Amino acid sequence: MFAFVAERLWLDFVNSDTSARGTDALHDFGRFVGWLEAAQVLDAERAGSMQRRALQQPAGALAVLGDARRVRAVLRALAERGASAPDVRVDALGEINRVLGRSAGTRRVELREDGTFARAFVAVGDAFAGLLIPIVESSADALILGELERVRRCADPRCGRVFQDETKNGRRRWCDMATCGNRAKAARHRMKLHA
């Protein structure tokens, strides 16, 4: 249902905007929580808790959904133009700090069911405010570590996904070889057959 091919949480979040391909992962609060669960930002128990809270506090759920869309738009600009446009980095930094400044809670490391470890943020007070913390922290890490030079857009013009190029030579072209890469290989093959 969701594709996680970007190598970074914040870039996968940018890729959650699939409106050009049919439906947006942030279409409603339930899908947003579903995306967070699929991305392993929330476990099943917390996801269920957030869904129940949304029923009790629909205005809060709607507000965080709007905030998530706003953050995603700024992060898309950062992914696509941040390496070469200082003003885009400044805008993203302002948005990152706005989200970080609004949330109060506890950061901790948790053991996942598969035996791996992950950072977690447990919000205090407004639980909705903490939902975006792992995403903006991931984008903050990209700024701090100077990773923007390796953010790429998929070479398939129909795709639109962005990803972190972790290859040694920095020449990765496709968001995912199983989808966009294979389509390009098949198209090249068909051209050779008809040439």
pLDDT digit string, tens, across residues 119-135: 777 766 677 878 999 99
3-class secondary-structure state, position 141:
helix
Domain-wise residue ranges, the chain = 9-194
> Please, which pLDDT band fits residue 1 given cuts at 50, 70 and 90?
confident
The lowest-confidence range among 15-19, 23-27, 106-110, 166-170 is 106-110
Q: Pick the closest to residue 6 from 120, 168, 183, 154 (CA basis).
A: 154
Rounded (5°) CA angle 115-130-138? 60
CATH numeric code, 9-194: 1.10.3300
Per-residue confidence (pLDDT) for residue 118, from 0 to 100: 76
Per-residue confidence (pLDDT) for residue 81, from 0 to 100: 95
Are 99 and 91 in contact, with CB atoms under 8 Å apart?
Answer: no
Which residues, including other chains, have CB under 8 Å from residue 154's CB and lie 6 or more apart? 160, 161, 162, 163, 173, 174, 175, 180
Beta-strand ranges (E) seen in 49-174 are 105-111, 117-123, 151-153, 162-164
